[in-house]
Every structure is written in C-alpha cells, then in structure tokens.
Amino acid sequence: MKKFAIIKSGGKQYKVLEKDHLKIEKIEAKKGSKISFSDILLISDNGKSKIGKPYVGGARVDAKIIDHGKHDKIRILKFKPKKRYKKLMGHRQNFSEIEIEKIKL
C-alpha cells in the first residue's frame, strides 16, 4: 500500500497520493508557488491509518500550483410547463491544478 491522505479544500474532500495531479477549487496564489494543506482528515501509511477528530494533528500535505483555469461550461435550464417560462444559463467553474509533493505526519 502507498501512503495517501484525505484532505479538505474548498468544502470538498480529496484522496491524494504523492506525485498526484489534482484539480481543486481555485486558490488565490501565483502559478508555481508552494502551498500547504493542514486540514487532513485521514492519513494511511502501509496499512496503518490515523483518523482525525476532526483533523490529524501535526499532519501536513505540501503541494505546488501548476496552473489556473476554467472547467467546461455546464448548462442550467429552468422550465415551467404551461407557463411559457424557460431560462437557459451557463456556468464555468474556476480551478487550480496542483501537484502533491509530500505527505508529512
């Protein structure tokens, strides 16, 4: 088993491995800068797990921001039958692509 962690970022939870590439909610930092996540919910290393209450104390995940961008457009349709109401909207979510460098206990 490899070492992995479950982190919390942007209201979502992600399972991460070292050298993993991941698209998360946009983080306001420059491209190429280093960031650190301290909201670690679980760490597993060779079958030994540490579960946080709510976070694992002293644990940290270091990452590097590779790029910023926008996801593909999703379309939202509001429709009410027999009322002549139809509204079509679109949305593109911003993201930051990161590379996980190190998982530390």
Residue pLDDT, tens place only, 37-68: 999 999 998 889 999 999 999 999 999 999 99
Is a pLDDT exceeding 70 seen at residue 71? Answer: yes
In a domain, 63, yes or no: yes
Q: Is the confidence at residue 93, as pLDDT, over 90?
A: yes
Q: How many domains does the chain have?
A: 1
Q: Whole-prediction pTM value?
A: 0.83
Q: Is residue 33 part of a domain?
A: yes
Residue 20 has pLDDT above 90, yes or no: yes
Closest CA to 38 of 18, 23, 56, 60: 60
Residue 20 lies inside a defined structural domain of this protein? yes
Confidence of residue 35 (pLDDT cuts 50, 70, 90): very high
- Please report whether residue 75 resides in a domain: no
Where does residue 32 fall: left (phi above 0), alpha (psi -120 to 50 degrees), or beta otherwise?
left
Q: Averaged over 63-78, what is the pLDDT?
A: 97
52 vs 27: CA distance, rounded Å:
24
Q: Is residue 89 part of a domain?
A: no
pLDDT value at position 2? 84
Print the domain residue range for 9.
4-67+99-104
pLDDT-based confidence at residue 1 (cuts at 50, 70, 90): low
Query: What integer is the mean pLDDT of 2-6?
Result: 92
Give domain status of residue 86, yes or no. no
Which runs of E-coded beta strand occur in 4-93?
A: 4-9, 12-17, 21-25, 34-37, 40-45, 48-51, 60-70, 74-80, 85-91
State how far the alpha carbon of 98 is from the alpha carbons of 1, 3, 10, 35, in Å: 23, 18, 14, 9
Is residue 29 within 8 A of residue 66, CB to CB? The reply is: no
